[in-house]
Structures are given as structure tokens and as C-alpha cells.
Amino acid sequence: MTIGFRVLNAQRKVAAEWVARYREVPVANVSDSMNRMTAGGSRLRPMHRQGVLAGPALTVKARPGDNLMLHYALDIAEPGDVIVVDAGGDLTNALIGEMMVAYAVKRGVAGIVINGAIRDAANIGAGDFPLFAAGISHRGPYKDGPGEINVPIAIDGMVIEPGDLIIGDDDGLLCVPYDQVAEVYDRATAKHAAEEKQMRQIAEGTNDRSWVLESLKKKGCALP
């Protein structure tokens, strides 16, 4: 096996029913339900106009500034996949532009994550194809490799295994491990329901704020 230049087969993939369910839950609620311990880094921002990202990860580990393996990932991606590229966060060269996005849309890809740069930002920003990236550069990529597909990757400490659930909205990007989608979903939906109840109480003027003063007292805060 050639480490650093290889393409593997994915062994598992989160089911479409979970993808659909998670599309209705804010990423922040999911993050809270994972004890706020996982994040894809604050630099990864939505580059598209609007729309939620959700789907199983097709992972790509790329040499910074090189998109050869990303091109192949587009060729082998299945409809609904989210292509997640760890390119080291380097912003020197853009790895994707409007032509590759158009091809991804044609292939039925659910979205793309680039831990690196994009270009043709105005065109991508006017569309609704979910694309998250760390930045923008007019400089184009190289196409020499090496790289790997369907291997574990990590973005700012967030480990992503092939087939894990990737979700993203205006608050950022998150990976839910394959084996934890059911547990995290139950917690996240309960959290979301509690917040919706609290929003109604705020609107009605009935929300209980006594916990703030009680917390300060327990911590020995000097109060008037």
C-alpha cells in the first residue's frame, strides 16, 4: 500500500434518513449536544449564498495547493456525498472554482468543504451549492498530487472518518461520528425544543432569570 498516494473504498456511510433529520437541526444545538468539544475551526465559513450542508463525508487528504485528488473525488462521488478536503488550511492556491462547482452540482454532490482556498468567489457566492472554505485566492492549483481518498482526516482537531455525517450552516461546520448520529440527534433535538420554548417565554415575558443571580452568589461575587 502506497501511503500518501492512494484511493480506498469507503466501508460505511451514514444513512440518508439521518442526513434528512439533521438538516432540520441548527449546528449550534448539535455542537452543544457534543459538549462543545468538536469544531472544524472558525476559519471554515460558508462561501455560498444560503443553504444547509448535510451528508456523508467523502474524505480527501491533499497536498496544500494541489487539487488532483479532489478532481478524482468528484469523479467517484455518489449523489448526496459531501467531499471534505484537508489541504492543510493553506490559502496560497485555490483548490476549486466555478467550473468544478458546476461539475459537482451535475454529479449530485451535496456539498464541498475545503480546508484551504477557493476562487471565483462572486459566482460561488451567488449560488446555493453548499461550499465551506477557509479563504479565497485568485491563484490556481497544481494537479500533481500526492493525496489520499477515503482516509481519516483532521481539521483543527476535528477528526473526520469516511462516511461520518458532515453538517454546516451559518454558524460553521461540524462532524458527527458515524456511530453517534442517533444519540447526538436525540440530544440535539431536545436542546432545540428547549430553546424554542425559552424563545416563546422571552416573547411572553415569562422567562426565569433567577439562575443568573444564584450563580453569582454561589461564586462569591460581590453584589450591591
pLDDT of residue 60: 98
CA-CA-CA-CA dihedral for 27, 28, 33, 37, to nearest 10: 100
Residue 92 in contact with residue 64, Cβ under 8 Å? yes
Position 145 pLDDT exceeds 90: yes
Tell whether 119 is in a known binding site: yes
Each domain of the chain, given as residue ranges in start order, spans 6-187
pLDDT of residue 3: 84
> What type of residue sits at position 152?
P
The pairing of beta strand 147-149 with beta strand 53-62: antiparallel
Give all strands (DSSP E) within 10-100, no chain letters.
45-46, 53-62, 82-86, 94-96
Q: Is the dihedral of CA 19, 24, 27, 33 positive or negative?
A: negative
Exposure of 128 in the CB half-sphere (CA atoms within 13 A)? 3
Tell whether 99 is in a known binding site: yes
Crossing angle of the two packed helices 68-76 and 98-107, in degrees rounded to 10:
20
- What share of the chain in percent tops pLDDT 90? 95
Tell whether 120 is in a known binding site: yes
The tens digit of pLDDT for each residue in 174-222 reads 999 999 999 999 999 999 999 999 999 999 999 999 999 999 999 999 9
Architecture of the domain made up of 6-187: 3-Layer(bba) Sandwich (3.50)
Cell of 109: 454532490
Q: What is the mean pLDDT of residues 46-69?
A: 97
Tell whether 156 is in a known binding site: no
pTM of the shown model: 0.94
pLDDT of residue 1: 60
